[in-house]
Amino acid sequence: MHSPGPTHVPEAVQNALRRQPVDLGDPRLDETIAACEAGLKHLLGTRDADVFMYAANGHGAWEATVVNLLAPGQKVLIAGTGHFSESWAIQTEAMGVTVLRTPYMEGLTIDMAAVEAALRSDTQHEIVALFVVHTDTASGTTNELQVLRRMLDDLSHPALYVVDVVATLGALPFAMDTLGVNVVVGASQKA
């Protein structure tokens, strides 16, 4: 079997996990949260976006994103990248959202022509969001994010641009504001 990991957890992090927790009302907790938010904004390359921290795995962050952006019956377009775009699609469908998928070939990048055709044919702008996986971990294939922002702009399509950086945040260059990404989904367990 080929799978990523094991993830190296630095000694300083292990030691921090051994310390006593601070009280809910302790002002040091506010300071810690503020420092985490500032650090995450720096990592995400954003000045003004809000940061929400969840005690969950990547699937939990996916779920939070779907629940907060889409109502059952609304439509999302998921660019086919491989295993993770398909898992995201299945989970999103289970939450009552209508999912449009573009086809993928394991190990190849997103079929941009298929994404463009799907957006172009959506003349009523029923697609609320475009979901894209930056690197599909199963094959290690990384997708070009700038192209899709440009595509949405060129077509004047108002869909929210949502990117999964679970595998890549901290490992590959990413800048939310520069790329014009509206919602970013990350997690701490991979890069």
Ligand X SMILES: *Cc1c(COP(=O)(O)O)cnc(C)c1O
Give whichever of 58 and 80 is closer to ligand X, judged by the CB atom.
58
Q: How far is the CB of 54 from ligand X (least distance, A)?
A: 11
CB of 85 to ligand X, least distance (A): 9
DSSP run (H or E) holding 183:
strand 183-185
Q: Specify the residue for token string 């070939």.
A: 105
188 binds ligand X per the rule CB under 6 A: no
Q: Which is nearer to ligand X, 101 or 157 (CB)?
A: 101
Binding residues with ligand X: total (CB under 6 A)? 12
Look at residues 123, 182, 110 and name the one whose alpha carbon lies nearest to residue 155.
123
Residues 45-84 that bind ligand X (CB under 6 A): 57-59, 84
Gap between the Cα atoms of 6 and 101, Å rounded: 32
Pick between residue 162 and residue 166 the one whose CB is nearest to ligand X.
Answer: 166
Count of CB atoms situated within 10 Å of the CB of 58? 20
Min dist CB 183 to ligand X, Å, is: 14
Point out the residue whose Cβ comes nearest to ligand X.
Answer: 58
Q: Please, are residues 119 and 156 in contact by the beta-carbon 8 Å criterion?
A: no
- Asked if residue 189 binds ligand X (CB under 6 A), the reply is yes
Q: Which of 40, 127, 129, 166 binds ligand X (CB under 6 A)?
A: 166
- Separation between Cα atoms, residue 160 and residue 180, nearest integer Å: 10
- Residue 133 interacting with ligand X (CB under 6 A): yes
Q: Which is nearer to ligand X, 42 or 59 (CB)?
A: 59
Q: Binding to ligand X by residue 101, rule CB under 6 A? A: no
SS (H, E, C) 118-169: HHHCCCCCCEEEEEEECEECCCCEECCCHHHHHHHHHCCCCCEEEEECCCCE
From candidates 176, 179, 190, 191, binder to ligand X by CB under 6 A: 190
* The token pair that represents 165 in the structure block: 């950086």
Residues near ligand X, by CB under 6 A: 57-59, 84, 133, 137, 164, 166-167, 187, 189-190
